[in-house]
Amino acid sequence: MLIIVIALAISFDFINGFHDTANAIATTVATRVLPIRTAIIMAAVLNFVGAFISEKVARTISSGIVNDAKLSLAVVAAALLAAITWNLITWYLGIPSSSSHALIGGLIGASVVHAFSFNVVSWNTVLQKVIFPLLASPLIGYFVGFILMKFLFKALSKVPNNIVTKIFSKLQIVSAAFMAFAHGSNDAQKSMGIISLALLISGQMGPNDSIPPWVKLVCALAMALGTSIGGWKIIKTMGVNMIKLQPIGGFAAETGAALVIETATAFGMPVSTTHVISTAIMGVGSSKRLSAVRWSLARNIVWAWVLTIPLTMLLGGLITSIFAFFKLT
């Protein structure tokens, strides 16, 4: 069962990579600064590098959300299956949803059904490190994108447009790289955390042990490989369909979002990189005029965010019930 859980965690990490490729490069592709293949390779490499930076988010996942003493490996498998199912559904529909919150929702639902108690979940940690960042990070991403874009408009108001475009076509490559690094530093840690939780449950590591180097390497590679495949549907939704971007706007959105994500990583908060970059793009569009954003599309994206945790909780609980029926838990 431990091998199955590790395989599922690696699969989730791989799917997370191609599902969330758009987070780092959608704006770069949309503004034609980089060809899609080059942008994806750059994102894959920097996702890999970012995965080694910290363990704080992984610690939150492995020991902060649920009581591992009351869990089984089958519960972790159910959580991963719920998250993978949600990721594949939203990828197929081209909706940029949160892989992070799909995993957390699946873990909470599976744990509650297995223990037949809500007390198995550390609700204070969920509130402080999941729900609060879930609500706050998209708003912060929106306002950072909005303010940064307003500042750039004002600072460069006397510079000819062709020169601004030429300069930010180069700078946007740097901001996309920063965003890819930030994505790796936060998102790859979720799979590290879930594998660490499985190792804790099976007695293969202690609660105070460092995450094994092989776990970091495998998760970094899985995310990088997933990113290298890319997810054009979501890239198109975020970078093309939501607003019409110029290189300066892409730079503002990516830089603002990456700063928010890196701050969350420093505090061990598993935020959604998808939420943050999506709202940063909305903020950039709104800085020109509110009508620049296709709010009907934005509304569909927000609904996906709202439904992610409750629906994956139900999925996780349902899969755990099926496992229990067949005496697999």
Query: By the 8 A CB rule, do 116 and 41 touch?
Result: no
Q: Which of 16, 39, 5 has its CA nearest to residue 272?
A: 16
Q: What is the pLDDT of residue 275?
A: 81
Rounded to whole angstroms, how far apart are CA atoms 68 and 228?
34
What residues make up the domain containing 67? Answer: 2-325
Give 33-50 pLDDT, tens digit per residue: 888 888 888 988 998 999
Alpha-helical regions (H) of 116-160: 123-126, 132-155
Q: How confident is the model at residue 99 (pLDDT cuts 50, 70, 90)?
A: confident
Rounded to whole angstroms, how far apart are CA atoms 6 and 108?
19
Query: Burial letters for 238-255: b for 16+ Cβ neighbours within 10 Å, e otherwise?
Result: bbeebbebbbbbbbbbbb
Give 277-316 pLDDT, tens digit per residue: 888 988 998 888 777 677 776 676 677 778 899 999 999 9
Query: By the 8 A CB rule, do 106 and 78 touch?
Result: yes
Q: Which of 38-47, 86-95, 229-238 has the highest mean pLDDT?
A: 38-47
Q: Which of 265, 268, 228 has its CA nearest to residue 21?
A: 228
Partners of 66 in beta bridges: 121
Q: What is the pLDDT of residue 238?
A: 54
DSSP 121: B
Residues whose CB is less than 8 angstroms from the CB of residue 201 and which lie 6 or more positions away in sequence, other chains included: 68, 71, 72, 73, 76
- Distances, alpha carbon 264 to alpha carbons 41, 56, 252, 327, in Å: 25, 10, 19, 39
Q: Which of 3, 13, 125, 7 has its CA nearest to residue 67?
A: 125
Give 68-78 pLDDT, tens digit per residue: 878 899 999 99
Give 171-207 pLDDT, tens digit per residue: 999 998 999 999 889 988 989 999 999 999 999 998 8
Mean pLDDT of 117-121: 93
Number of domains in the chain: 1
Q: Which of 279, 238, 290, 287 has its CA nearest to residue 256?
A: 279
Query: By the 8 A CB rule, do 228 and 41 touch?
Result: yes
Assess whether pLDDT exceeds 80 at residue 95.
Answer: no
| Amino acid present at 267 | F
Q: Which of 245, 29, 281, 238 has its CA nearest to residue 145?
A: 281
Query: By the 8 A CB rule, do 289 and 149 touch?
Result: no
Q: pTM here?
A: 0.88
Query: Which has more pLDDT, 288 or 159?
Result: 159
